[in-house]
Structure formats: C-alpha cells, structure tokens
Structure 1
Amino acid sequence: MDPDSDGGPTPDEQKSKKRKLPDTRKGNAVDYKIFAKTNYTRQFPENHSVDCVVYVESQENEKIGNKNPITLTKLFTENVKGIAGVHRVNAYKVGIMFRKPAPANNFLTMTHFLGKHKLKAFVPAHLTEITGVIRYVPKDLSNEDINKSITCDAEVISVKRFMRKVDGKLTPLGTIAVTFAATALPQHAYIQMFRYPVHIYIPPLLQCYKCLKFNHSAKVCRGSQMCSSCSGQHSYKECDVEKIVCINCQGGH
C-alpha cells in the first residue's frame, strides 16, 4: 500500500469496480422470442370429427390449381388410398379431402409419391389449431418458462408475448398468445397452478406490402409489385407521380 494512502481503493481498483457485470436478469430479447414446440408436425387427431382436407402445392411454384381437374383427380385417386374428393383452392393449391384422419395423415408421409411429382402436402393450420389470448401474465416469465409450466385440456404448440415499442425499445406486455392443437378454444389454462381464462384471439388485419392486397404477407406473395402511392406496377420508392390513388378503392388517399 502507498504510505501516503488513506486506506481507500487505488485508482486502478476503482476502475475495476466500475466494470459492468453481465446482465443476468430476465427481459433479454431471447426471453420474448416466440417459443414453438420442437419436432411438431401438424396432423389430424384421431378424434377429428369432420372431413380432413390436405392442401397440395407444387415444389416449383407451378399453378397446379389451373391444371386439368380430371387429370389431377386421376393422379391422386390412383396412388392414394381413402380420398373422398379433390377440389381447387386457388391457382397454386388443390385440396385433397379424406373422410378419416388416418388416410389423411398417411398421405402426408408419402414422400416418394410427392417427390416424384414435385409436390408438397400439408394440413392448413385453421383445421387443427386455434389461438387464444391470456392476460395479466407476469412480465418476468419468458416464453419458454410459460411453455414449461402451462397446462390445459389441449396441447400447447407455441407461446408468444405481446410487445410494445417504447422510446425505440421493445417492452413486454402482460398479454400472451397461445396456440393450441385443437379446434375449440379451452376455457382455462393453468400457469404454475394459477388459473387464467383464455380469450378469443382476433389477429390484426394483414396486408401485403408487395401487391397491397389483404390476408397474406409479402414473403409469400406471388403477385406483381404495386405502388402504394399511385397504384402503378412499381415500388413506391421509384414513384414520381404526384397524384395519390388508392389501389383498393381508387380514392385519393
């Protein structure tokens, strides 16, 4: 120790004490990342009581919905058991209908047949899943913590914490969205033995920022790029037209 020292910490010791320690508190971005069940495959449950519809798309973005319907029906009925009907969903999708869950789920595993014809099959989420809202959930619980402790009559597929941006930073809210493997919303769910009512989830209106139509995102959009300012076929970043025209109602907004 320096003989002239009064016994307090040296300047080097003071700097050492000022070093920031790792933040081990809850609230990191990873805590609020959507937690989804691993190795989950969407299938029809054995007690599914209505028709089971499997959607089929082309692996090469081909418009199979516009193909000859007789040819399509023959292709599926001659190679797949248990089919009750085939119908067009849209230009890129057809629906294969089964009366029972077992043949529908078996069709999903026919990788050789699907690969040979460059097709992919999947169960649409709205037929086997439902999302509910739970309020007043402690903010210090991560989505993973909630998933580990939540219990209810239906299987939990994913947990999402609602967030709000405050002063440029995402802040967690006390409301979560829970997706269940069910067609009817459970009345209650338990988190660490505390009972929470489950409310209906009303999703926000989804608009595509590419074609500007509704109910899909730009990530999966197959439409043309449209301008949100003048409704022309170009990006709004390239627009030099002064007159504003709404692409949906042709109004001046």
Structure 2
Amino acid sequence: MASLAFPKKKKRTRTDDDSDSESENEIFFMKDNWPRFVVVQSANEERPLSKLSPFAVQKGFQAIAGTLKSTKKLRDGSFLVECSRKTQAENLLKTVDFVDRPVHVSVHKTLNSSRGVIRCRELSDMSETEIRDELKTQGVVEVHRVTVKKEGKVIPTNTLFLTFNRPDLPKEIVVGYLKVKVQLFVPNPLRCFNCNKFGHTSQRCRTTAKCQRCGKDKHEE
C-alpha cells in the first residue's frame, strides 16, 4: 500500500528566532513571487493585538502598508492580512512594533502555497533534495516521493508531491529538457474510526463509538 512521505519605530534587537523566520519567509519571494497572506501577532502574551480598538488596528496597518486588501482577526488574537502589492508584504514582514506593542510577523504557512503531483520516471535516481534544488527557480520548496511497501521492503516510485511557494498551481513544470504536467494534490479525507464520520480523528471525537458495519452503537460482533 502506498504511503505518503509527508510525514519599525523603536527597533527591537533581533533574536535567533527572528533570523529563522526571515529565512523561512525568503522562499516566498523567489522568482518575483511574494506572499499574499501574512500573520501579525503580538510578541507579548500579556498585550495581545485583540485588545486594541478597531480604529487603532486600522491606523496601524495603514501607517505600515497603506490600504490592504483585507484584515481579519483570528481566534488566537492575531491578525491575518491579505496584501494587494509586494511592497505591502515586504513592509509588514520587516515590522517589529505595531501601534504600542512588539509583534512577530510571518508568512501564512498554507494560504501562500499549493501542492501538486507529478510522475516522471527520469527522476527515479535523484534524491528529493536534488530535485528540489533543481526546481527551486520554478517555485518548488518541498519534494516528497511516494513509496510502496512490498514484501517488507520500501520501494520508491516515480510519483512525487511538490509544494510550490505560490497559491496558484502551475499546469506544468520544466524538468531539464522535459515538460511535465502537474496535477492537483488531493489529500485523503480525515475519517474517525470511533464514530466513522469524516472531518476529524478518533482522538478528537466527542461522539459515542459506532459499529463500522451497521452504523449503530458499537456492539460485540
């Protein structure tokens, strides 16, 4: 069975964590690409951004990036910002202070990326890292190869999952002298083996156990 191998006003002193975040954000600026969605959160848990008035939040973003496409408050008190221009994303990601409190700004981990599937036998002898490095100029930031377990052995296949640093999935990529079609990656739906419904796992299930055969309350088979 195939298994997926996914497995600034007053400036603050930059820490190692800030440097790590900067390196992660750089992948979204490759080849004239830029992140549309950015998350702004308070660096001080005792002073969340959600405590600011809507007027202060609006004026704060206006001062840093001008008129944004959209601004949404998330459950954890941070703000999801959609940019309409590259300069807005650049200015926001350089921000360390917002209104009157320190903040941490990062690229949203899923809204700015897309996943696709390619099948190419010519890549069978290359490692995931080698393929990623060769395709980096086309926006590929992650490569995972599908493997098949047969007779106790894990066998690599010619099917590869690619993660791109942009939300719009390309129809094809150039692999050396080849043009390879890219198909949309559709993950398997989550299914709870406690109640047999989709959308969550058994660890988070709040329903009584159901029989997988008849759908009624679980009973001795």
State the TM-score bracket (shorter-chain normalisation): 0.5 to 0.7
Higher relative contact order (CA 8 A, sep 6+): 2
Specify the alignment match of 2:84 in structure 1.
Answer: 99
Residue identity over aligned pairs, in percent, reads: 19
The structure 2 residue matched to 1:131, chosen from 94, 102, 115, is: 115
Per-residue deviation, residues 29-64 of structure 1 (Å, max 9, x unmatched) = xxx899xxxx45254689779x94422234466795
CA RMSD, Structure 1 to Structure 2 (Å): 4.5
Counterpart contact for 2:189–2:199, Cα < 8 Å: yes
Counterpart contact for 1:65–1:89, Cα < 8 Å: no
Q: How does 1:1-253 map to 2 (within 5 A)?
A: 39-41=23-25, 42-43=27-28, 52-59=36-43, 64=48, 67=51, 69-70=53-54, 73=57, 76-77=60-61, 80-84=64-68, 86-111=71-96, 113=97, 117-137=101-121, 138-150=123-135, 154-205=138-189, 214=199, 228=205, 231=206, 244=209, 252=217
- Specify whether residues 79 and 141 from structure 1 end up closer, same or farther in structure 2 by C-alpha distance, changes over 3 A only: same
In structure 1, the gaps of 5 or more residues are 1-31, 218-224, 233-242
In structure 2, the gaps of 5 or more residues are 8-22, 193-197
Tell me which amino acid in the other structure corresponds to 2:72. H
- Specify whether residues 227 and 168 from structure 1 end up closer, same or farther in structure 2 by C-alpha distance, changes over 3 A only: farther
TM-score by length of 2: 0.60
TM-score by length of 1: 0.54
- Specify whether residues 75 and 117 from structure 1 end up closer, same or farther in structure 2 by C-alpha distance, changes over 3 A only: farther
**Count of aligned residue pairs for this structure pair:** 189
Specify the alignment match of 2:20 in structure 1.
Answer: none
Larger radius of gyration, structure 1 or 2?
1
Larger deviation: 63-72 or 188-197?
A: 63-72
If each structure's helix is expressed as a fraction of its own residues, which one has the higher value? 2
Shift of 1:227: 6.2
- Specify whether residues 100 and 145 from structure 1 end up closer, same or farther in structure 2 by C-alpha distance, changes over 3 A only: closer
